[in-house]
Structure 1
Amino acid sequence: MKLASLSIRPPGSAAPQPVDQLMLIAGAGIDGDRHREPASPRQLLLASSATYGDLGLAPYALRENLLLATPIDALPSGTVLQIGDRAQVRLMFVCEACGRLDLHGAQVAARIGARRGVLARVVQGGTIRSGDTVRDLGPLLPAWPDDWHERVAQVIDAMPPDTVIEYALLARLAGIQSTYCRAFPRLLASLGPTYASRAIAARAVSHMRRWNGNRLFDDILPATASEPDAKLDCC
């Protein structure tokens, strides 16, 4: 696999800006990008040039950070990709096709469906450049579901005992917009009392400690992952 192109969205920028290289920061995201956030599973978006070709989209219509010359849709969550000599990213879950994509043409979001790309976290930092080789190291880290309901439950399942989490942070850790917080009471109630009691509004009073999401993602690779003979695929 090869990196076909790169782009960044600095704070305050509405559109992706093409660049020749990016600095990835381990556990944080892209240096200088508006989505750099240690507590987020959405640090960068990877898309495939095949989607552009199949749907006839304008450049950067998917608003990706990394465009790969090879489809990545079939790679499972938890897969780690090495980019260039050092940087590594962890595939998290499929990026939903939001309505903003329709700014690039009628029904673009509907046409894309589940092919917008894959969201990822930075496991190992480094500078990446257009044309770099991308190597599939395999599914080295735990998988995250595409369904946001399941991700909310997964975050709560990871919480330490005797802790609660505020709705806004729960949304951030699950990789969804804060507007989804309105749906949390009903969703958590449907999951059962164990879940309903673990998430609270910001102003709610609780005798339990509020959890900050520490160690939720644990982007720690097995010791052999950085060794040359651990690279499973190279094309």
Structure 2
Amino acid sequence: MQATATIQRLYLKRARGEAGVASTVVHCTAGVGIDGDVHANRLSPRQVLVTLTSELDSLGIAPGALMENIVIACDRPALFRPGAALVGASGVEIRLTMFCEPCRRIAHLAPRLSGLLHRRGVLGVVVAGGALRVGESIALVADRYPALPESPYQKFLDFLPTVPCGRVVRYADVAIAMGVADSFVRALPGYIRRSAGGDLPLHRIVNARGGLLDIVPDQAKKLQAEGVAILGNSASLQKYAWQGPDQAALLADSGRPQ
């Protein structure tokens, strides 16, 4: 199923927790997000936030107040959900990944945050880059991708196998890739213990400085077998840290022709 949408507003967010600056055009980079936006990150499933004009009108909230990047008007709003894609005439494609949960930064906009559940907008990642312009017509393609799981633990299980052999990620990187708050790093040691004994490449997780983890058995041995040099019980982040998939890998994963 497909719907027609029109871009009503565009915003570029320079800092976390702040509303974006209105723009008539934004440029998107595949696998990264909107150029110059604070949430542009190869690891993140939260590169872009898209909101419906109809929801803003219904809630009585001004465009931009929800800290969104893109506001669209759509003739079939029921199709606007995780798993859908926004596809522009120029080839830009945004995969919608998950609903954006209400948070304390927008608590002043509603008597209760629960009233904004599934109404703040849908987050997404840029699959194919290019320019988006206010007034541009775009297609909303339903169910083009699988929606990301809502369970944080399942997101953890899904992400770890994507880390390439011979590379490492920090706790903070894992939280970013899961699309959870930075404070969630405190839960990750519990997830690691819970997942021990399986096939998950837990040995590719290191601390903020590249240090190995006491809770991962034989971590040094497993990393060395993958070609990672261990010096002083640490792996060089400069050499081995993984920053997310490149454009070719992203296109292959999405099923789009390369």
TM-score (normalizing by structure 2):
0.74
- 1:9 aligned to 2:40? no
Deviations 1:26-76 (A, max 9, x none): 221111211122222111101111221222223322111111112656445
Q: 1:113 to 1:76 in 2, by over 3 A?
A: closer
User: Quick check: 2:45–2:124 contact (8 Å CA) kept in 1?
Assistant: yes
Report the CA distance shift for 1:64/1:173 in structure 2 as closer, same or farther (over 3 A). same
Q: What amino acid sits opposite 2:162 in the alignment?
A: A
Q: Which secondary structure does the structure 1 equivalent of 2:39 belong to? A: coil
1:128 aligns with 2:159: no
User: Does residue 29 of the first structure (1) align with residue 33 of the second (2)?
Assistant: yes
- How much has 1:171 moved relative to structure 2? 0.8
After superposition, the CA RMSD in angstroms is 2.9
| 8 A Cα contact 1:155 1:216, kept in partner | no
Q: Residues 104, 92 of structure 1: CA spacing in aligned structure 2 closer, same or farther, 3 A cutoff?
A: same
- The residue aligned with 1:101 is 106
C-alpha change, 1:159 and 1:30, in structure 2 (3 Å) is closer
**C-alpha displacement at 1:142, in angstroms?**
4.7
1:166 aligned partner, one-letter code? R
- Distance in 2, matches of 1:118 and 1:216, equals 23
* 2:197 aligned residue (189, 193, 200): 193
1:92 aligns with 2:91: no
Q: 2:99 touches 2:122 (CA, 8 Å); kept in 1?
A: yes
**Bigger radius of gyration:** 2
Residues 137-184 of structure 1: CA deviation (Å, up to 9, x unaligned): 454445422332221111023334676542111111111222100011
SS, match of residue 190 in structure 1 = helix
Name which of 202, 209, 215 aligns with 2:208. 202
TM-score normalised to the size of structure 1? 0.80
The 5 A counterparts of 1:103-122 are 103-107=108-112, 109-122=113-126
List gaps (5 residues or longer) in structure 2.
Answer: 213-218, 229-239
2:233 aligns with: none
Q: What is residue 69 of structure 2 aligned with on the other side?
A: 65
- State the distance in 2 between where 1:141 and 1:216 align: 19
Partners in 1 of 2:17 and 2:162 — Cα distance?
34
- Asked if the contact 1:46–1:119 (Cα under 8 Å) also holds between the matched residues in 2, the reply is yes
Please give the per-residue CA displacement for 1:81-129, whole angstroms capped at 9, x wherever unaligned. Answer: 212432111111111111111133432x221012211111111211111
Question: What is the CA–CA distance in structure 1 between the aligned matches of 2:116 and 2:16, rounded to whole Å?
Answer: 26
Which residue is 1:53 aligned to? 57
User: 1:159, 1:213 within 8 Å by CA — same for their partners in 2?
Assistant: no
Percent identity, please.
25
Structure 1 stretches of at least 4 aligned residues deviating more than 6 Å after TM superposition: none
CA contact under 8 A between 1:81 and 1:137: conserved in structure 2? yes
